[in-house]
Structure formats: C-alpha cells, structure tokens
Amino acid sequence: MSASSVTAATALLAPAAAFVLAALAMFVIDAFGAEETSGLVLAVVSTAGSIAALSISGLLLASGAAAGGVALFGGQLVVDGMSLLFTFVFGSVTALVSVASLDYTRGRPYKTEYYLLILLAATGMSLLASANSLAVVFVALELTSLPSYALVAYLKNNRGSVEGALKYFFVGALSSGIMLYGISLVYASTGSLLLADVAAASGEASATYPGVFGVGILLIIGGLAFKTASVPFHFWAPDVYEGAPAPVAAFLSSASKAAGFVVAFRVLVVGFPIETIAGTLDWVLVFQILAVVTMTVGNFAAATQENVKRMLAYSSIGHAGYALIGLAALTNVGGVGAESTVLGASVLHLLVYGFMNTGAFLFVALAEHWEIGRTFEDYNGLGAEAPIACVAMTVFLFSLAGLPVGGGFVSKYYLFAGAVGAGVWWLALIGAINSALSLFYYSRVVKAMWIESPAEPFAIERYPTALYAALLTAAVVTVVLLPGILVVDGTAFDAAAALF
C-alpha cells in the first residue's frame, strides 16, 4: 500500500477523527480557557464536532467511497456502509444531546468535563462500528463505557445518579470481564482475533474444541447483551436511565445501544458465520430466545411503571428486543436476500430509534429542567402549557409505538415483514403483539399531557431555546423519516448484505 493510498484510506476515519478533534478541543479549552467557560462555547464545539462526524459519514455513504468495505491497519478496522451508517446515527444523537445539554447543564459545574466525556464516548462508538477484530472491539467498548459511567454520575449530589452510576459500573465491569474471557476462549480455539480469521478457523475450531469455542461465543454474546441492554443483562438499564441526567440517558439509550448492536451484527455475522457454527452453538436460536424474552419483559415492565423516565427505560429494553430480530431471523430458510433484508431492517429501526428515543428522553430533560416531577400524573395538563413540545413528544411516543406518524412505523413494518420473509413469522407475530401492547403505556403519557388537567398550575417561566431546538429537530426528522426512509433504506440493505 503506497503512502497516498494509506492517506486516502485513513480519510475514511474522518468521522471518528471529528469526534476526537472536538474532544481534544475540550482539553484545550479546559486548560487555557477561563475558570468557568461559558456553556455556549462548549456546546457549539461539541455540536460542530458531531455535525462534522455525521455529515462526513453521510457524504462518504453517498459517494460510495467505502462501498466494498475498506480495511485499515492490517484489518483491525474496517470502514463500510454499516460503520458509516451507524456513525451517522452516533453523530446525530450526539449533536442533539450536545445542543440540549446547553440548557440542561446551565448553572451546573464541570461542563467541560461533561462534553468531553460525551465526545470520548462517541469516539469509542464510532470505533466500535468499525471494529473488525475482537481486540479492537474490547478496547472500543471500554472507551465507550468508561466515559458513560462517569456521565451517569454527573449529578453527583443526587442519590439516583450516583446509585445508577455505581450499578452501571459494577454490571459493566462484570460483563466486560465475561466478554474478555469469551474473547480469550475464542482466541484459544481459533488462534486469531481478527474476525475474518476467526471465521476461517471456525469450522476447524468447532470440530476440535467445540466446548471451548461454544462457551467463548456464548460469553461474548453475554457481553454484547449488556451493551444492548438485552435480557438477561438488562437489570442496570432502568436504574441507570432513571438516575442519569436525562440528556445522558438519551445518549446511552439511543447511541450506546446502537453501538452495542453494530458490534453484535459484525462480530456474529462476520466472525461466527452460522453455517459453520450451527453445530457448536446455534446463536440464531439464542437470539430468538433473547429477542422474544427481551421484547416481552421490556414491554410488560414498561406497562407497570408510574415514572415516565423509567417507562422509557423499559421501552428501550423492548426496542432492543425488536432490533434483536435482525439477528434472530438469520435462519437461512428465507428466499434470496431475506437475511440481509431483515438485518438491514434492524439497522433502519436503530436509525429511526436514534431520533425518536433521543427526542422522548430530551422531553424528559425539558420536564426536569422545569422541575415538574417525573410521574405520569406530574405531566397532567402539560399540553396546554407547552403545546409545541408536547406535540413533539406525542410524535415520539406514537412513533415508538409504531403508529404511522413517524419513521417508527416503517422501520417496524420492515422488521416484522422481514422476519416473515425469513420464515420466522411467529417472531413477527410476537413483535406485533408486543407493539400493540406498547401503545397502552405510551398513550398514558399522551393522555396525561393532553387530556388530564393539572393538579396545580405549572410555574413554567422560561422556554429553553436550545432544548426546544433539539426537541423539534428530532421531531421533524422522526416525521420526515416516514416518507423519507426511502433515502436510506437501500443503503441499509446494501450495508447489511455486505456483511454476509
């Protein structure tokens, strides 16, 4: 590889570089800036970095520069449609969260550190999306997780925030250990950490060391289940999302979850091809069980909540269950292209989810900003007080439920139709029933906002511009994705097909 082609190939990492540069800028601002830098500068730098990341990845996607997948650093990283698409999601979510945090962190200390940690976590996510070797997967996973632990504890005088962070850290450390152990077992049985080499050696490894290899894969799946907040490693999620500052909860439940999924897609589809692994560990069956249990547990638990943020946390577990269909439907019994279609549908769902779920959590951030409480009852009558924000929230909730007001309807349609096309119609049926159930608890918020009357009048004095801007952007994108998904759906299906 000549020097110039190395440069050209490295340019494909520009989205990750944008995050890193913005993070470095935070260090500089912190070192040389005034004692307490204005939040505006920090928010602008952070937003600019994430918008740069999302637009570069969008441009690279559109230009087809990485259509076939470009391997970098001896195959440790790969930039392809999948990684760029997810980096686009991370950039969008980070930009929305950065804008919204301007109002949220107003009057709170350690703003620079806050933005710095968000940008570092986003860097880790964009590396996760490109990770092509188990070693890089682990390092990038830690780069994502460590800033996240600290972010959750940002409100360090708040019991919930600290408790959530501690819980997140313990469960995270445990699952990192489990995953690392799994990686070492896979390395022991295949002799490589590169996903392509693992795949090549997997046939022999299954024959020679079926036990070691199978347990290794199972442990890796456990680590991924933590990151995607899937059952049985979901216990941290409700406490963490509830305790964390709402913009951080938005960031974790949208971007961090998507990062978990992209690495799961790549590791399992590329590293452990089901054709050769099926005899050792039928991970498709594992994911079928995980998908059904995760979506059912998430939705039923969400239906019993009294706290809106906790309800959204459980709903986020439910959505992890839907996205798992992308892996659970790779049964190889469907027609031509059925597998890449359903995997692409899962990617699309995570893309749409990135906007609608971030938006819903940002609305909770707005409510926290107004200090109006956290339960359904506390939202009573908010629609008359803040109609525009409540319209946005209504859009997010109905779109999450799969009603055709936003992209959530199309992506769920893709997922369930894809599952039927791949021959697992029962999975689609369970998903559809869960989806109908979810409407019950989402509409409770809508009912509270618009139909109930407030117990006492609200004392809302200011309408924070930045939070509103982020909220409305997310709402507009969610609605536009209903007809506009045709712009990205081909890309997603191609990106998914390229993995096989």
Partner 1 sequence: MLIEAIIAACLLSAAVVFVSPDRYAHKLALGLSVPPLALSLYAYAAFEGSGNALLGGEIAYETFTEWLRFGPYAVNYHVGLDGISLPLVVLSTVLTTLALLSAWTPIDERQSEFYGLVLFLEGSLVGVFAALDFVLWFVFWEAVLIPMYLLIGVWGGPRRKYAAIKFFVYTNIASLVMFIGYFGLVFGLGDAISSTGMPEVAQALRAGQLGSLGTSAAAIPADALAMGAFLAMFVGFAVKVPIVPFHTWLPDAHVEAPTPVSVLLAGVLLKMGTYALLRFNFTMLPEQAAILAVPIAAIAVVSIIYGAMLALAQQDLKRVVAYSSVSSMGYVILGLIAYTVYGVGGATFQMIAHGLISGLLFMTVGVFYNATHTRMIGDMSGLAGRMPVTATVFVAGAFAYMGLPLMAGFMAELFVFLGAFGSTVLPAAPVFTAAAMFGIVIVAGYLLWAMQRSLFGPFRLETDYELARAPAHDIVPIVTLLALVIALGVAPDIFFEMIRDATLDVVAFDFGGESP
Q: Can you tell me which of 236, 261, 398, 442 binds partner 1, judged by CB under 8 A?
A: 398
CB 362 within 8 A of CB 249: no
With CB under 8 A as the contact rule, which of the stretches 19-27, 74-82, 298-306, 415-423 interacts with partner 1? 415-423
CA angle 134, 192, 131 (to 5 degrees): 25
Toward partner 1, which CB reaches closer, 42 or 428? 428
**Among 413, 456, 480, 500, which residue interacts with partner 1 (rule: CB under 8 A)?**
413
Contact call for residue 172 and partner 1 (CB under 8 A): no
Cβ within 8 Å of residue 170, ≥6 positions away: none
> Rule CB under 8 A: is residue 479 a binding residue for partner 1?
no
* Site track 58-97 with partner 1 (rule: CB under 8 A), x = hit: ----------------------------------------
By CB under 8 A, is residue 170 in contact with partner 1? Answer: no
Q: Any residues with CB less than 8 A from the CB of 8 and at least 6 apart, and which? A: none
Task: Indicate whether 417 belongs to the interface with partner 1 (CB under 8 A).
Answer: yes
Residue 455 interacting with partner 1 (CB under 8 A): no
CA distances from residue 418 to 142, 266, 340 in whole angstroms, order as listed: 33, 19, 9
Residue 177 touches partner 1, criterion: CB under 8 A: no
Interacting residue with partner 1 among 59, 135, 285, 433 (CB under 8 A) = 433
Residue 399 engages partner 1 in binding (rule: CB under 8 A): no
Q: How many residues bind partner 1 (CB under 8 A)?
A: 45
Range 191-250, binding partner 1 (CB under 8 A): none
Q: Give the separation between CA 472 and CA 462, rounded to whole angstroms.
A: 17
Q: Which stretch binds partner 1 (CB under 8 A): 7-15, 148-156, 271-279, 442-450?
A: 442-450
Closest CA to 213 of 278, 263, 290: 278
Among 439, 460, 476, 498, binds partner 1 (CB under 8 A): 439
- Please report whether residue 387 would count as binding partner 1 according to CB under 8 A: yes
If the CB atoms of residues 281 and 488 are measured against partner 1, the closer one turns out to be 488
Interface pick for partner 1 out of 409, 441, 442, 468 (rule CB under 8 A): 409
First to last CA, the chain: 26
* Residue 55, number of CB atoms within 10 A of its CB: 15
Give the range of 84-92, 114-122, 217-225, 418-426 binding partner 1 by CB under 8 A.
Answer: 418-426
Residue with tokens 């498709």: 284
Instruction: Give the binding site for partner 1 (CB under 8 A).
Output: 333, 335, 337-338, 341, 345, 383-384, 387-388, 391, 394, 398, 403-405, 409-410, 413-414, 417-418, 420-421, 423, 425, 429, 432-433, 435-436, 439-440, 443, 446-447, 450-452, 482-483, 485-486, 489-490
